[in-house]
Chains A and B, each alone.
Chain A
Amino acid sequence: MSDDSLPTLKILLIGPSGAGKSALLTRYCDDEFDPDTATATIGIDFKIKKLSVRGKAYRLTLFDTAGQERFRTLSTSFYRGAHGVILVYDVSSRASFRTMERWFEEAENNTVEDAVLYLVGAKLDKAEHNGGGREVSPEEGRRLAKAHGAMFCEASSKTRENVRKPFVELVDAIVSKPELLVGNRVRRRAAGTVDMHDDGAAGYLPSCAC
């Protein structure tokens, strides 16, 4: 089965700047971690990852915020068609956690009701540095997630701890919701939409003169 024909799930990573969204994504997709890239990732629109859940393969398209989280300018079009949203904060930053209520609100306002939300407390390694770096307790994170009907875990892109967990659990939750997968919503294009494929010039030749 070619990858293109797999059912596609759109998953977003949102949250404040510097929370560790890109690091989580890069660790999950490429198993890489660069402690020095603190700046926003340039040039990557989304990453694709194949994942099998309950014996069925899915094509995940994972969208990062492309820096548009900095001044909270994510567009409504960014959220369209999302099956799941991973909201990321930094367990070693109280300030980052404080913004999460607004990120939940934005995600809830812009996605369909059934979209699955997952809260991740990132940079767990900092918390475990003799416990000194932690500013947000796991209980607080769990409580916030629960208030929004979201799942929760803490993770470290540096140590790999729990890196796969949010993605796997999120996808598992998405695929267990038939209403999220109805009709053509897992396909790249819904029925009735026009195919603008760019296979050379063929698409631009008139097939019918009038």
Chain B
Amino acid sequence: MESLGDTLWDVVICGTDLQQSLLALSLSRSGKKILHIDPNGYYGGTEAAFSLQEAESWVTDVAASVAAATNGTCPWRSASICKPEAAATEGQRAATGLSFPRAYSLALAPQIIHTRSDLLSQLVSSCAYRQIEFLAVGSFYIFKASAPAQASKEMGKPTLSRIPATREDVFSTTAITAKAKRGLMKFLKFVMDYDSPPQTESWGRYADVPLTEFVQMEFKMDNELQTYIVTLTLSLDGRISTKDGLAVIHRHLTSMGVFGSGFAAVYPKWGGLSEIAQVACRAAAVGGAVYMLGTDIKTMQESSDTHDANLVMSVELSSGDTIKTRMLVRASVQDHSTTGDGVSGAMGISRLVTVIDTPLKSLFAAVVEGSPTPAVAVIAFPVGSVTTATGKVSENPVYVFAHSSDTGECPVGQSVLYFTTLSTPDSKEILMQAMDSLLTAIAAEEHAPRSLFQLHYEQARGATNSQTQGLIFDFPSPSLSLSFDDSSLESVRQAWSRITDESVAEMEYMTFPDREGAMSDEDEMYT
């Protein structure tokens, strides 16, 4: 077999995060010589999905890379795992405890994908979607910490209030008053063509102020309705601008019903974006790309190729091979610990992933007749609705993605909750409290759910733009957004154009004929 060093590679891609994997997919019919490596022993990079065992070794790796300060590309901090149930039932495995480690596939960066996202149209036009199962994202809920009940000093039980998502839904809900319904309906109608002339005038002067202010002033929405609206945007700080907020809600509303009734977004089974990355890499391998995991770049330098007047990169791999390539594409290599980044500054998020011992069925009920059973539900804790035992109050919304076992991320009978909030000194405590409160809120409907496994970590946002230097192209660091951000597709296309000959039309980008059809039509008989 030809050794790696004998080939002049057209591109070496480092990392199998979604962006790098989509780049590999986009080049999978180009005939280019592609070497795709990943320093990790698994696919998916920052979007990976882990078994319990893999999660544990990942936590160890994060600690080691933080300690060694070798974490130029590592956006993670403070990763830890806790198994409350294991501690409680010391030695004797509870019947409802954790299943075997591989029964789980926990996503590091779960993102829902709106049905109008270009990611889905690219997966369809490239035929990669055939190997991916998409599940419906169902209802959005608001957590309500109830006020003390009258005639009693005890706090009432917290509840979840479902946000009506469609017009029919708004009419039928009993959760809001008739007056509020009219305001909401008026707003939803407005958003549908917020971007055409008469409407643009009405929100133009609010463009850069928070959306909440706009809907309060122009649609007389009360606090509760404002929370509904902000929750639909999944804004991490709850202060999304009117301009951005209207765009996101427009996307949400127009995504409703695209692939079936009752849902606006989908989630890939078995761990979300990680699955897309793996399928994209497989498609590239089918096209001839060579894959190596657990392989990093040790050194690199530009040199001139003997057969070619053009400059090439000489790259030394940790495997010991030294290879030559015309182009190198990597993840952003900014040092996350020191780099401020525009307005967002040192923005980061705090996450808590927890396995729950009950299926939380009530969260996954289909609301619209004929719609597929949702596998994902979204729950928002509005600003100020979480108070810890030590009296700390949440300054930012906390968002929860509840995943049923239909996602393949946990065994039947269990569920996975992904909590996210902006990083603050108290964010871990806030997330833990939010988890307890949520379990209490759901407890009425199901037998006291318990948390069996908890993975906590912080994720920093690095560079927001791609960078090109000589023969090196660096992708921006992944978006922290909770719904898939189409802007990350733009840098994939940029990288693709750098590698692709000018003769290839942009129209052909990610548009491939089906590879299926290698059907041999003889019918074998065997009795």
Contact = CB atoms under 8 A, between A and B. Distances in A.
Nearest to A169: B526
A194 B282 contact: no
A208 B372 CA distance: 16
A18 B167 CA distance: 60
A170 to B, nearest CB: 11
Contact of A48 (B43, B283, B518): B518
Contacts of A48: 516-520
Interface in B112-141: 116, 120-121, 123-125, 129, 131, 133-136
Contact of A29 (B136, B257, B269, B520): B520
A206 B125 contact: no
Given A18-B1, A68-B291, A44 B518 contact: yes
A189 interface: yes
Looking at A29, A195, A208, the one whose CB has the most chain B CB atoms below 10 A away is A208
A183 B135 CA distance: 17
Interface string B90-123: 0000000000001001000000000010001101
B247 interface: no
B521 interface: yes
B459 interface: no
Contacts of A95: none
Contacts, number: 164
17 contacts: A29-B520, A39-B1, A43-B286, A43-B287, A44-B518, A47-B518, A48-B519, A49-B519, A68-B291, A75-B282, A76-B105, A77-B275, A193-B135, A194-B136, A203-B258, A204-B116, A209-B254
Given A77-B275, A192-B406, A68 B282 contact: yes
Minimum-distance CB pairs A-B, first 9: A208-B257, A75-B278, A77-B278, A73-B291, A66-B285, A45-B515, A48-B519, A194-B134, A42-B288
Contact of A50 (B188, B261, B275, B521): B521
Nearest to A168: B526
Nearest to B136: A194
A185 to B, nearest CB: 12
B282 A66 contact: yes
Contacts of B188: 210
Contacts of A172: 526
Contact of A206 (B254, B270, B406): B254
A7 interface: no
Interface in A148-206: 164, 168, 172, 189-196, 198, 203-206
Of listed A54, A67, A71, A77, residue having the most chain B CB within 10 A: A77
Nearest to A210: B253
B417 interface: no
Contacts of B278: 75-78
Contacts of A195: 259-260
Contacts of A46: 515-516, 518
A15 B237 CA distance: 50
Contacts of A18: 1
Contact of A52 (B135, B253, B515, B523): B523
Interface magnitude class on chain A: 35 or more
A139 interface: no
B291 A192 contact: no
B471 interface: no
A21 to B, nearest CB: 14
Interface string B250-284: 00011011111101001001100001001101110
Contact of B260 (A80, A190, A194, A205): A194
B192 interface: yes
A110 B204 CA distance: 54
B293 interface: yes
A15 B261 CA distance: 44
Contacts of A57: 523
A203 B124 CA distance: 11
B259 A194 contact: yes
Contacts of B520: 29-30, 47-49
A58 to B, nearest CB: 10
Nearest to B289: A67
Contact of B287 (A3, A42, A77, A205): A42
Nearest to A209: B192
Nearest to A42: B288
Q: From A3, A18, A42, A80, name the one whose CB has the most chain B CB atoms within 10 angstroms.
A: A80
B488 interface: no
Nearest to A193: B133
A126 B133 CA distance: 43
Contacts of B519: 3, 47-49
Contact of A51 (B257, B287, B526): B526
B287 A196 contact: no
B523 A77 contact: no
A210 B192 contact: yes
Nearest to A51: B524
B450 to A, nearest CB: 26
